[in-house]
Structure 1
């Protein structure tokens, strides 16, 4: 017999469902109340206690080696409550991290797209010669390659790049130096 109940531990170990049901009815309410001290959520406390009873049923053959089953139950509920809190904290931290990371990524993507749009708009406003030279320069072409491709002198390429930089700097300010480090 378990102290304070009419449960015969041997009946429970033997798989007597009625004995288990009586055991459950005796301890479930007090264990949920006990779990609430840690979890502060009725539904979660009930889930934890139900998990404990499932574990008790699944391992009932080992219950004979437990000296104080009620104390063991309370210990299991406490352990499972702490496990739940630890898992929940990890889940919340991970969710927070990924949410913040996603927000930063989305913001960076927005900034990148908007900057590209502004720069492309500014490039379209350049005089044709400067636009042709500068667009090739930002693609990595050297002054000589640009001059050869456009059939103009290298000095003209340099002059057109200067004109483009001046106009873009007026329109874009420091934004130009962040994205076009063109020599």
Structure 2
């Protein structure tokens, strides 16, 4: 898209026809040359377009062997692409190894499940109002919404929430202490 815009910016009667002629003459040859290296038609076509965009930015009169210049530019573009792909693949594989390394062990997953069970047990031991207050507060609701949901005065929500937290903490600590 960018290349099309650049070509549209600079149309001049002196350069447009020769460039179009060069493009139609050499494009298939450049694509074939890149295809031999990349073994991917779509990539070869994309890289060939990049090569011709570079050519468009050059002074055609300054290039003595146009076919050689295009072939060499295509080869460089293909090898640069392969190097980039190799680096990207290595980076992705490294990230995958790192992710596996960070993945929790069986013991860590078991401890997490135990923790979740303890939290659930403590929450279910609370009365409905305290459980609702805690769950709604940690789900992002504000005090006014908590007051409406539990049918209490909005000025009382802070005190009730503090008491619910204290009850939850005590129940949770008892549950965790009983396991150890």
TM range (shorter): 0.5 to 0.7
Residue deviations 1:13-51 (CA, integer Å, cap 9, x gap): 975212211110101111111111100000000011100
How many corresponding residue pairs?
Answer: 115
Name the CA distance, whole Å, in 2 between partners of 1:83 and 1:14: 34
Higher Cα radius of gyration: 1
Shift of 1:107: 3.8
Name the CA distance, whole Å, in 1 between partners of 2:66 and 2:107: 62
Name the CA distance, whole Å, in 1 between partners of 2:27 and 2:107: 56
User: Structure 1 residue 78 and structure 2 residue 75: aligned?
Assistant: yes
Name the CA distance, whole Å, in 2 between partners of 1:91 and 1:64: 38
Shift of 1:111: 3.8
User: Structure 1 residue 105 and structure 2 residue 102: aligned?
Assistant: yes
Name the CA distance, whole Å, in 2 between partners of 1:45 and 1:120: 53
The residue that corresponds to 1:37 in the other structure is 36
Superposed CA RMSD in Å reads: 3.2
Change (3 A) 1:104 1:68: same
The residue that corresponds to 1:19 in the other structure is 18
Determine which of 93, 108, 120 is the counterpart of 1:96.
Answer: 93
| Contiguous gaps of at least 5 residues in structure 2 | 1-11, 118-173
* TM-score, reference length from structure 1: 0.52
Name the CA distance, whole Å, in 2 between partners of 1:113 and 1:58: 58
Change (3 A) 1:120 1:86: closer
Residue deviations 1:87-136 (CA, integer Å, cap 9, x gap): 0111111111112211221244x541314656999xxxxxxxxxx9xx6x
* TM-score, reference length from structure 2: 0.53
Change (3 A) 1:72 1:21: same
Name the CA distance, whole Å, in 2 between partners of 1:26 and 1:32: 12
The residue that corresponds to 1:51 in the other structure is 50
Name the CA distance, whole Å, in 1 between partners of 2:43 and 2:116: 55
Shift of 1:64: 2.8
Name the CA distance, whole Å, in 1 between partners of 2:88 and 2:57: 28
